[in-house]
Amino acid sequence: MTAWEMVAVAAAGFAAGGINAVVGSGTLVTFPVLLAVGLPPVTATVTNSLGLVSGNLAGAIGYRRELRGQRGLLLRLLPASILGALTGAFLLLNLPASAFEAIVPALIALAVVLVATQPMLQRALARRRASGDAEPEAFRIGPGRLVGLLAGAYATGTYGGYFAASQGVLQIGIFGLLLPESIQRLNALKNVLTMAVNGVAAIAYVIVAPDRVRWAAAALIAVGALAGGFVGSSLGRKLPAVVLRTAIVLLGLTAIVVLMSR
């Protein structure tokens, strides 16, 4: 990479770390940049997942106050998310690269739609829980709801292990339908689960396919994402959401164009 490309990758990591802490879908920032500096799609995904773990950790720490009272729920959902991450990593490393290149534009398009429509989802959720945060009794989840939560954690973990863009948006959407929680507490839950999924997937990539990792790019993303995660979790909620959302949509469309023209 040239010096300017290194700066671009680190800056993308910073932006992605902040966006992941607040909105989700930071991969739609880093993935197009990694493609632009010459990484193949599968290599870009592996490198990106490894690099963004530090930002996920920073975001989870930044939202620690919103995690109060959710320990029991997290302990139930984490195993399903981790199993999903391993499933997604297996699919990424074993399906032909041609399959990934065919599937990813559709996944990015889905992620772009989810990001663009997230305000409507948030308004719907806000109407459902106008009373604010749920009381501890809300965590006494019945068997049917628990099955739905576990299935959602596994499905989003598989998606995240295969291609992480908008994993968090999917989690908020699914869990928001099943849990009477505020958006901020759902976001805190999402940050921890995303950190687990990306971390487990990254470990699997490093063990099974270290040749797919571009270490310099991963390190640049990691440094940027760590700083971005802390900044995003402390200041990101004060930024206009429409600005972040518009940037993500534009970058997602750029990624689709880049992939389709390869």
Read off the pLDDT of residues 163-203 as tens digits, 9 standing for 90 and up: 877 777 778 777 877 777 777 788 888 889 999 998 999 89
Rounded CA gap, 254 and 203, in Å?
29
Quote the pTM value: 0.78
- Average pLDDT taken over every residue of the chain: 82
Model confidence at 133: pLDDT above 60? no
Task: Tell whether the model's pLDDT for residue 17 goes beyond 80.
Answer: yes
**Can you give the residue range of the structural domain that contains 116?**
3-260
How much is the pLDDT for 238? 64
- In terms of average pLDDT, the best of 33-37, 61-65, 122-126 is 33-37
4-13, 84-93, 212-221, 235-244: which has the minimum mean pLDDT? Answer: 235-244
Mean pLDDT score, 93-103: 79
Mean pLDDT across 72-100: 88
CA 132 to chain centre: 25
Question: Which burial class, exposed, middle or buried, applies to 180 when counting CB atoms under 10 A from its CB (0-12, 13-18, 19+)?
Answer: middle
More confident residue, 45 or 240: 45
The separation between CA 147 and the C-alpha centre of its own chain, rounded to angstroms, equals 22
- Position 106 scores a pLDDT of 80
Q: Give the total number of structural domains in the chain.
A: 1
